[in-house]
Amino acid sequence: MKQAKDYIIFPLDVPSEKEAKEYVRLLSDHVGMFKVGLELFIRSGPDIIRFIRSSGAARVFLDLKLHDIPATVSRAMERITELGVTFATVHCGESREMLEAAVKGSLGKVGVLGVTVLTSVSGDDILAAGFREEFSSDVSELVMKRAAMARETGCAGIVCSALEARAVRENLGKDFVTVTPGIRPSGAERNDQQRVATPALAIKNGADYLVIGRPIRDAKDPRDAAVRISEEIESAFTD
């Protein structure tokens, strides 16, 4: 059964392999998954993934946000299947074919997650990129359109804000996975995240996984911070 800690995805947003390994040792019994992004993967490659997998039960989310012609994306995803990761990301972008290629390349071994619209992108950016006004005036319209495309092409789920998780779940079904960054326990620093939710609200909105970085990484005692967040998640189950 999924325990409270299994909802937590800890991003290994650190510049060195040494630091990444320290966090893996410290947290592998207290989070469900480690997220490896471009910075760490460029530095350490598949080695860091092997290290995480040998360190305990926590799984791996490879966040490389692929975006290329369908053949290239499919072949890259096939190589990802050799790494034993649970999830890998691809931009929803403008091509349905690219998403289909990512899913085909995953060979049913990796859950493909679509990145809908980056939270760093504003309505003005969308307009400047040539999209219709209906999408720039309400970016969530574009998020939902891309989420539906990810669903139709066989993706396992999407990355979205915890504030959108409920609508995604209602429109696209409970088995379509929502991974939600921008999580802040009450009283924690927001940093550069704009649309934040507490762990409890994310769970109530039906989020399947919560990406929680700085509130754990920068805590005096990161393990204790992870345990406290698990407790908050646990209490949201029973509310």
State phi, psi for 162 to the nearest 5 degrees: -60, -25
Closest CB 181 distance from ligand C5P, rounded Å: 4
CB of 46 to ligand C5P, least distance (A): 19
Q: Is the dihedral of CA 95, 93, 210, 110 positive or negative?
A: positive
Q: Find the part of the chain contacting ligand C5P (CB under 6 A) among 18-26, 66-74, 209-217, 225-233.
A: 209-217
Window 119 to 158, contacts with ligand C5P (CB under 6 A): 119
Q: How far apart are CA 196 and CA 184, in angstroms?
A: 6
**Considering only CA atoms, which of 120, 103, 104 is closest in space to residue 112?**
103
Asked if 211 touches ligand C5P (CB under 6 A), the answer is yes
- Window of 24-32, 163-171, 197-205, 208-216 that interacts with ligand C5P by CB under 6 A: 208-216
Q: Is 164 exposed, middle or buried (0-12, 13-18, 19+ CB in 10 A)?
A: buried
Query: Is 65 marked active-site?
Result: yes
Under rule CB under 6 A, residue 37 binds ligand C5P:
yes
Which is nearest to 151 in space by CA: 101, 119, 114, 205?
A: 114
- C-beta of residue 73 within 8 angstroms of C-beta of residue 105: yes
Q: Binding residue for ligand C5P (CB under 6 A) from 144, 159, 177, 226? A: 159
Cβ 36 to ligand C5P shortest distance, Å: 10
- Name the strand (E) or helix (H) holding 35: strand 33-37
Minimum distance between the CB of residue 127 and ligand C5P, rounded to whole angstroms? 20
Active-site residue list = 65
Q: Which residues bind ligand C5P (CB under 6 A)?
A: 11, 13, 35, 37, 118-119, 159, 181-182, 191, 193, 211-214
